[in-house]
Amino acid sequence: MRSTPTVLVAGAGVVGLATAALLATGRCADRLRVVVLDARGTPRWRAEDMDPRVYALSRASQQLLAHVGAWDEIAEARASPYRRMRVWEGADAYAPSALDFDSAEIGEPDLGHIVEDRLLRTVLADRLAATREAQLVIGAEIETVETLSTEVAVALKDGGSLRGAVLLAADGSDSTVRRLLDLPVTGHRYEQTAVVTHVTSTGEHQSTAWQRFLPGGPLALLPLADGRSSIVWSLPTADAERLLAASDAEFLVELGAATAGVIGELTACSKRVGFPLQAMHAQKYAAPRVALLGDAAHTVHPLAGQGMNLGILDAASVVAVIEDALVAGEDIGDLKVLRRYERERKGDNLAMLAAFDGLNRLFRLPGWAAPMRALGLRAVEAADPVKRLLMQKALGLEAGRKHRVRWSRAELQA
């Protein structure tokens, strides 16, 4: 009689917890054990505090969270839908070259939801705790990883150790697992830092995500459920450091000018946080007994807010591959199995990275390129089929349909 295989998940961020929750609630939940390892504690969400780090979740991400029974609780706690998105360059947000995306144009209630990192992690961790064959181990700092013929062995800095059939590394862009196994990556630093904060304004955000391309980098204003807007302002690192050190009044003056007044006067801001930006892509997502997910495999520029959505699609893909292999009687840590996940996700992720990198470079070109950029934006605005396609892609409708089919088939097979 075969023993129950263990899936080790490194990292209790959103992608790691989503991966574990999918495995622990899926069609093969009674045939495997899931252990999530994280060096730090999972922060708890509190209604009175708004987490500075938020994500623009696509429909595909929402459907995955619903599939593990987490979405309703997230939406009830605090999720802000955005129904429109306006993208522009220059001083006038309503210039002819500005892009206006409206969810009504594709028959959708919204273009996504803005949700806090801490809320996602709290609900997913609670969902995991409610399952029988899953365990979240906090304070588990990985020291070594050894891949053997039939299992992977992980030694912890506190002297503990674990063994499993496969190790899924969702431990961030500075992945310890990736470093210990010397898995190569390519990429570059943008020499930009994203300044993140929440602002109060005299005008309403209108359930709209606003994005202005500025010479130093894009500025995004994302609508929050409490009426404020979340700011993600990508700037040359020296400028970002100056603004992070400035007084609230000084910062709001500069930010107000950058927003072109689209949400009125800015009257207050929360604590500011800076995140250095880089593009990174692992040359291999899969190695014997190990697979890389989310930021451990790829990081993209935040200008389109798709980084977390790509990671969640990684989670859905690797779980489907593992479940299919388990049903077929295969070794879930075999390289040939894990390469199926790599083949499914690597091309799409690399294409998205290249697209966002190219957009960032295009809009950072000097003023002489502005007329060409305006012409391109105007052409997209005038082409309704292109706009609909872009909205459908951003919402992840095709990816969502694919995984819904997978889940419905899985339920029939279970």
- Cα(45)–Cα(110) distance, integer angstroms: 25
Rounded to whole angstroms, the Cα distance separating 100 from 118 reads 30
Distance CA 13, CA 34 (A): 15
Contacts made by residues 387-393, CB under 8 angstroms, sequence distance 24+: 387/99, 387/101, 387/105, 388/105, 388/106, 390/101, 391/101, 391/103, 391/105, 391/106, 391/108, 391/111, 392/106
pLDDT at position 404 is 58
Q: Which pLDDT belongs to residue 384?
A: 62
The domains of the chain, with CATH numbers, are 6-82+114-187+279-364+396-413 (3.50.50.60), 190-277 (3.30.9.10)
Q: What is the spatial distance between Cα 154 and Cα 352, in angstroms, rounded to a whole number? A: 32
E strands within 170-225?
A: 185-201, 208-214, 217-223
- Predicted local confidence at residue 212, as pLDDT: 94
- Let me know the angle formed at the C-alpha of 166 by 175 and 331, rounded to the nearest 5 degrees: 150
* Residue 396 token pair: 């992840």
Instruction: Name the pTM for this structure.
Output: 0.93
**Each residue's pLDDT tens digit in the chain (414 positions)?**
467 999 999 999 999 999 999 999 999 999 999 999 999 888 899 999 999 999 999 999 999 999 999 999 999 999 999 999 999 988 999 988 888 989 998 899 999 999 999 999 999 999 999 998 899 999 999 999 999 999 999 999 999 999 999 999 999 999 999 999 999 999 999 999 999 999 999 999 999 999 999 999 999 999 999 999 999 999 999 999 999 999 999 999 999 999 999 999 999 999 999 999 999 999 999 999 999 999 999 999 887 788 999 999 999 999 999 999 999 999 999 999 999 999 999 999 998 888 888 777 777 766 656 666 666 655 555 556 655 666 677 777 776 556 655 555 555 455
pLDDT at 149: 93
Q: Supply the pLDDT for residue 405.
A: 55
- Residue 304: the pLDDT is 75
164-194 burial, b at 16+ Cβ within 10 Å, e below that, comes to: bbbbbbbbbbebbbbebbebebeeeebebbb
> What are the tens digits of pLDDT across the range 111-145?
999 999 999 999 999 999 999 889 999 999 999 99
- Classified as helix, coil or strand, 79 is coil
- What single DSSP character describes residue 49? S
- Look at strands 266-269 and 134-138 and give their pairing: unpaired
Asked if 45 and 79 touch (Cβ cutoff 8 Å), the reply is no
β-bridge mates for residue 230, sequence order: 198, 222
